[in-house]
Structure 1
Amino acid sequence: MTTYYFSTLHGNDSSAGTHHDTPWSSLSQITGVSLQPGDAILLERGSDFTGQFLHLSGVAGTSDTPVIISEYGDPDLPLPRIDARGDGIWFENYGAPIGGAPHKYCGNVSTTLLLKDCSYIEISLLDIANSCEPTDGRPYNAIEAMDRTGIALIAQDGGTMRHVHIDRVHVHDVEGNVYNKHMANGGIYAIAHFPSDPDTVLTNIARFDDIRITHCTVQRTRRWGIAVGYTAYLNYIDHGERDAATSQWTNVFDYGDGRMDHETLQTYGATNVRIEENVVEDAGGDAITVMYCDTPYIRANVSRRAARDICDTVYTATQNDKVAAAIWPWRCKDALFEYNEAYDTLNADCGNGDGQAWDADFGDGTVYRYNYSSGNSGGTVMFCNEKAVNSQFYHNVAYHDHVGAIDIPRNPDAYVHHNVFILADDCEPLRTHRADGVARIEENIFVNDARMPYDYLWHPDGSDITWSRNRFQGFISKPDEEGNYERR
């Protein structure tokens, strides 16, 4: 087991690099090193590796002897900082269309810390940035602006990428592309591609197992804060269509009735994903999202001021994907969100089509419990469209979210119970203008915190709402909870 030391305070690339008294000064020195289980890469506190980057490929520790990337030195000095400043460019290619508008799926990306096909790696106590050179030459919100990542985890040619733990890392000022949701573009992003050899797509499946992101602070990143699990294998998970003549994927999908099964996600998606006790502030888009994960656990995280760029004055080059919420899943099975907090998600009043704290989106069995939200511009929770099924929202508290506490656009079965909603002046119990789904709303407390009581349309046109055993304060009317009502 060998430890490799790096320092911009005391380092010299002519030194041995294997003792804290003889560190290297350039991170590129690790390029020629064959890292073995139990090896460590340590950066001295107080060092500033601006203009440098650290890219590792094919590195593997073991369950007992992971490869360590961390710090050493005087604990009173700042964490060692790496800021690629737009360097560290590599070519990302999912190998197939990946859904959506469609989303961009290949192109150059700048990443500060890149792990590709690496397993049993533990990262801690680093300061990671990827800021923009003042002479970059294009507006920050140009559609062709560089995609950038602070930390990118890429599974592609090594099968399952296992046991990557990121703990107590500060990722900040990652000035990526405003628009690209699913390139490696944001603070911390884990993505699976198809293998380079198309003949091995089903024999060498690229996926993740045991990804943990804990106790990190992520600030001022675009587009994402933390995202785990997006994958080219969505073409299999979501029953993608192929062209009969060319066998190429067509970017057309069949989500069925929305239900998902554990076996499919355990084969093609991410497993054992835990995102806990992180703080994400001022993300350009969404704060924390898990995608194509089986039973992910998202606990005790804090989002503040997500969706900073999703507004009419910044998001101007396209209208595609002009939506962002705080903490949510996409196409997951039995995702559990608990003890999280979401504050002041932005811009529902300025072009952001979402803006909620929480969003059960196109998944099966999403549960939100014991969470707290406040000041979110688009409301508290959305159950997003027909393919979000078996979703529950219970034992949560919402204080002065805006627009609508409960948002059920075309949802088939939202179940909202045992929550407390303290409504701001401009907040409806239901987001009325798109309350065209089905919801069972039971044993909640709704407090109208406006100065004057107001009447409310409890059963908007197109909705199918069952109200039962709720408590209401500050309303002129309340729903007939026996079901004897007239739709208006």
Structure 2
Amino acid sequence: MTIYYCSSEHGDDNAGGTSPNEAWRTLTKLRSLTLNPGDGIALERGSQFERDYLHLTGAHGTPKRPITIGAYGNEALPRPAIHCDGEGVWFEDYHAPIGGCPHRSKGEVSTALLLFDCSYIEVRDVEISNRRLDDSDGHAYNDLDVMDRTGVTVIAQEYGTCRHIVLEHLYVHDVHGNVYDKHMANGGIYVIAHFPNDPARAKRRIARFDDVRILNNTVRDVNRWGIGVGYTAYLNYIDNGGKDADGTWNNTFDYGDGRISNETIATYGATNVLIEGNTVERAGGDAITVMYCDRPIIRHNVSREAAAQICDDIYTATLNDKVAAAIWPWRCKNALFEYNMAFDTLNADQGNGDGQAWDADYGDGTIYRHNYSHNNSGGAVMFCNEKAVNSEFYNNVSDRDRMGAIDIPRNPDAFIHDNVFIIATDAEPLRTARADGTARIEHNMFISAETRPGHAQWHPRGSHIEYRGNTYLGFANLPEDDNNNISNIPDNTQLISFIDPTALS
């Protein structure tokens, strides 16, 4: 077992590198290491690695002897920092189409920390940034062809299943990537599976992840994604991708009725994914998303001011995918979201087609429970379109989320029960402009935040909603078909006086 040391303040690239007194000065030599089980990389606290980067390929630990990357030295000093600033350019290639425009599937990416085909590797206590310092590339910041950037990227491609990836206590900030790209490595922390270089190997050695833990990180001012885990070229198998006569994937997909088989997602998707204790602030797009994961757990995370750049004055080069929410799944099986908080998701009134705290999106069996949301511009929760199936939302609190607390565009089902919805004065219980989906809404408490009786459009034309046993406070009218409602208290002044949104946020 060998630990390799690096210090921007006290190191020397001509030294041995295997003790604090013989530390290297830059990350250059670390990039060429062959790391064995139990080996580690230690960066001295207080170090600032400017315009530098750390890329590792094929580093494999074992369950009992993982490879580690972390900090050493005076604990009173700041954690070591890698400020990539556009260096560390590599070429990403999914080797397959990955969805409609503008989802690019290949191109150059700048990444500060890249783990390519690595397993049993743990990274802790490092600061990472990847700033855009000027327009020397000839593009404005929000041009469509700006290079993608990430703070941390983890890729599975040639090795098969990459196991036990731990990213913990990282501070990732100021990653100025492409405003528009959703599924290239583009944002704070991104975990992605590609097809291998040889397409004949795609099903013989499936590139995927098992045991991904993203824990207690802080991610600020990154673009486009905050934390994204599990996007994969193997969506072509999960989503029944079409092929041309010559056998080439043709970027068409058949989602069926939305359900995802246990066998399919376990074979091609990411398993044992845990995203816990992270704080994501001012993500340009979405804060935290799991994609193509089997039973992921997302808990005790905080999103604040997500979708900061999904707006009419920045997102101008295309209208495609001008949408972002805070914490949500895409095409996952039985995703569980619990004890999360989402505040102030932005721009639903400035061109962002979403803006919710939560979004059950084209998933099978999504559960939200025990979560808290406040002042999200597009509402509390969306059940997104025809392929969002078996969704359940219960024991959550929505405090003055704007526009419409519940958003049900064309979804086939949603069970919404035992929640508290405090309806803002400029909002509705339902986002009625597109409430044409299906839902059971039972045993919830709806509280109007107005001190005088408000008005609510409870049952928009075209929707298929069953209300039962809800409590209503401060409304002038009720859903006509909720014959089992517990009560309606028109004067809720005394109750509202106890609610201080500044204390809750």
Q: TM-score range by the shorter chain?
A: over 0.9
Post-superposition offset of 1:33: 2.0
User: Offset at 1:425?
Assistant: 0.8
The residue that corresponds to 1:77 in the other structure is 77
Q: 1:240-280 CA deviation, whole Å, 9 max, x = no partner?
A: 01012x21111111000001122111111100000000000
| CA contact 2:85–2:130 (8 Å) conserved in 1 | yes
Residue in 1 aligned with 2:492?
none
Counterpart Cα distance in 1 of 2:457 and 2:373 = 24
Amino acid at match of 2:103: H
Q: Please, which runs of 5 or more residues in structure 2 have no aligned partner?
A: 485-505
Match of 1:68 in 2: 68
1:135 Cα offset (Å): 4.7
What CA distance in whole angstroms lies between the structure 1 residues aligned with 2:120 and 2:284? 30
Q: Is residue 381–residue 406 contact of structure 1 (8 Å, CA) maintained in 2?
A: yes
- Structure-1 separation of matches of 2:341 and 2:141: 29
The corresponding residue for 2:55 is: 55
Query: Residue 21 of structure 1 aligns to a residue in which SS?
Result: helix
What is residue 239 of structure 2 aligned with on the other side?
A: 238
> One-letter code of the match for 1:291?
M
Counterpart amino acid of residue 314 in structure 2: V
Deviation at 1:483, TM superposition (A): 6.5
Measure the CA separation in 2 of the matches of 1:453 and 1:297: 40
Residue 450 to residue 100, structure 1, CA distance change in 2 (3 Å): farther
Deviation of the 1:482 alpha carbon: 4.9
Partner of 2:20: 20
The Cα of 1:31 is off from its aligned counterpart by 2.9
Q: Is the 8 A contact 1:186 1:223 kept in 2?
A: yes
Residue in structure 2 matched with residue 177 of structure 1 by the alignment: 178
**Equivalent position of 2:188 in the other structure:** 187
| 1:356-435 → structure 2 map (5 Å cutoff) | 356-435=356-435
User: For residues 67-466 of structure 1, what are the structure 2 equivalents within 5 Å?
Assistant: 67-136=67-136, 137-244=138-245, 246-466=246-466
Q: Which amino acid aligns with 2:42?
A: L
Counterpart Cα distance in 2 of 1:127 and 1:425: 41
The answer (yes or no) to whether the contact 1:466–1:483 under 8 Å persists in 2 is no
After superposition, the CA RMSD in angstroms is: 1.0
Mapped contact 1:8–1:49 kept (Cα < 8 A): yes
Separation in 2 of the partners of 1:459 and 1:100? Answer: 34
State the distance in 2 between where 1:482 and 1:177 align.
Answer: 47
Whole-Å Cα distance in 1 between the matches of residues 145 and 135 of structure 2?
16
TM-score by length of 1: 0.98
- The answer on 1:476 being equivalent to 2:476 is yes
Instruction: Give the residue type in structure 1 aligned to 2:27.
Output: L
The change in CA–CA distance for 1:432 and 1:470 in structure 2 (over 3 A counts) is: same
Whole-Å separation in 1 of the counterparts to 2:101 and 2:409: 20
Secondary structure at 2:20's aligned position in 1? coil
Question: Matches of 2:443 and 2:479 in 1, distance apart?
Answer: 13
Question: Shift of residue 451 of structure 1?
Answer: 3.4
Give the alignment's TM-score, normalised by structure 2. 0.95
Alpha carbons 2:384, 2:410 under 8 Å: kept: yes
Give the distance between the partners of 1:482 and 1:37, measured in 2 at CA: 62
Amino acid in the other structure paired with 1:414: A
SS at match of 1:354: coil
Alpha-carbon offset, residue 147 of structure 1: 0.1
Q: How many residue pairs are counted as aligned between the two chains?
A: 483
CA distance in 2, matches of 1:32, 1:186: 25
AA partner of residue 2 (structure 1): T
**Quick one: distance in 1 between partners of 2:160 and 2:132?**
34
- Alpha-carbon distance in structure 2 between the residues aligned to 1:233 and 1:91: 19
Give the match for residue 490 of structure 2. none
- Aligned positions of 1:39-50 closer than 5 A: 39-50=39-50
CA-CA distance at 1:34 after TM superposition: 1.3
Partners of 2:372 and 2:101 in 1: CA distance: 32
SS state of the match for residue 153, structure 2? strand
Q: Report % sequence identity.
A: 61
Q: Is the 8 A contact 1:372 1:397 kept in 2?
A: yes
